[in-house]
Amino acid sequence: MSEVSLTAILLFLLFFLLGSGIWVAFSLLAVGMFGMALFSEAPLGEVMATTIWGASNSWALAALPLFIWMGEILFRSRLSEDMFTGLSPWLTRLPGRLLHVNILGCGIFAAVSGSSAATAATIGKMTIPELARRGYPERMLLGTLAGSATLGLLIPPSIILIVYGVATEQSIARLFIGGVLPGCMLVALFAGYVIVWSLLHPKAIPPGEAALPLRQRLSRSKRLIPVVLLIVGVIGSIYSGIASPTDAAAVGVVLALFLSWYTGSLTKETFLQGLMGATKTSCMISFILAGAAFLTVSMAFTGIPKMLATWIGAMQLSPYALLLALTLFFIVMGCFLDGISVVVLTTSVIMPIIEQASIDPLWFGIFVVIVVEMAQITPPVGFNLFVIQGLTGIDILRVAYAAIPFFLLLLIGLAMIVIFPEIVTVLPNMMGG
């Protein structure tokens, strides 16, 4: 049987299993077993056992449950309320006023959460009722939240960057640092769009409250200090080389527990809820990674990745044409799968092609995350859209319509890092190996 026919059969089986509602991890394992059993002489049981153990027994993976737990603790704390109180007095004079709380709040929470859905839920719980009560336009309210919450995937500590780093054997610390400037760039793009839109539609934005005296604004800003210290403690320790991502994650959990206790929101119930939430999410991701690792190895035995790399290489696509094709591919995949599944499903096939095209794997990791961010706000499986629909009860298509400008802004951000790759690479290169 030709490699093309084999690829078609395995892809059909994979999409059939995923479409039938079987867990992603089970689908990956089943396709890997089918491919090895029918098209390879390798001992299936031994390869499966050693691969799953090897994928699970990774020290870099230890950062994953810790960062997820940190986000779960803060999700149940008074952090979002403190951020609103600390940020809002400074934004009343800016065009768009409190819509910027969505953008800056998501940017700050992304730096302590690592999850797009957690960012959308935490900030949305706080801002949606408050901004709706004050009369802000629904479309901008929903759009700024949906778009800005995607920053949870990019601004470190990012769960998806840990997954990418483990799957592709890249330095997680360098990936984290590589996400800082692109994340700040997207915050600036979102804020710039809100400013321009507000200047063009001045009557749509409700009048601001009277500006507080400087002393009062500074007093309210004190409530931002704990979360700023947490961000500096986690990201600063990685950037300075004091701690590995795993060590920094452990420090982050301790600081998050202290912060939650200090604000009076740490109880036995919230502690256990956070622990169980982190356990469930971590097990799901680890299980998917184990399934993907086995599928990667089984595909290597069948020779599909090498064949696809050769085939695409023979087409002699320029790096820009290749990136355009991959962008469309990832957006389509992201319409049906969550971001982590997209990354682990595709790396085994994509990475040989990327290396052949002489594209920096570290830069490509940030590229993939921005494309996956775009998929978070595209129906039918845009997770941010589901979260916001759950918070508001508004039809998912209305939420998706509100998010369109931010999808386009993410596309502009993607073009910026393609044209100026230094946006991604300058900080990791300063950091060194």
What does the DSSP 8-state code read for residue 134? Answer: H
Three-class HEC string of 171-207: CHHHHHHHCHHHHHHHHHHHHHHHHHHHHHCHHHCCC
In-domain check, residue 9:
no
Residue 17 near residue 31, CB atoms below 8 Å: yes
Task: Please tell me the pTM assigned to this model.
Answer: 0.77
Q: What is the pLDDT of residues 172-207, one digit of tens each?
A: 889 999 999 999 999 999 999 999 999 998 888 887
Does the pLDDT at position 19 exceed 90?
no
| Residue 123 pLDDT grade (very low, low, confident, very high; cuts 50, 70, 90) | confident
| Residue 314 predicted with pLDDT over 80 | no
In a domain, 293, yes or no: yes
Whether 378 is in a domain gets the answer yes
Q: Residue 155: give the domain boundaries.
A: 25-36+44-431
Q: Is the pLDDT of residue 240 over 60?
A: yes
Q: Is residue 5 part of a domain?
A: no
Q: Where are the alpha helices (DSSP H) in 222-267?
A: 225-239, 245-262
Q: Does a structural domain hold residue 7? A: no
Integer Cα distance of 141 and 135 in angstroms: 10
Kindly state whether residue 208 falls inside one of the protein's structural domains.
yes
Is the pLDDT at 414 greater than 90, yes or no? yes
Q: Tell me, yes or no, whether 322 lies in a domain.
A: yes
Which of 344, 432, 374 has the alpha carbon at shortest distance from 64? 344
| Cα dist from 53 to 22, 50, 59, whole Å | 22, 5, 12
> How many folded domains does the chain comprise?
1
The answer on pLDDT for 433 being more than 70 is: no
Please report whether residue 291 resides in a domain.
yes
Residues 6+ apart with CB under 8 A from 251: 233, 234, 237, 243
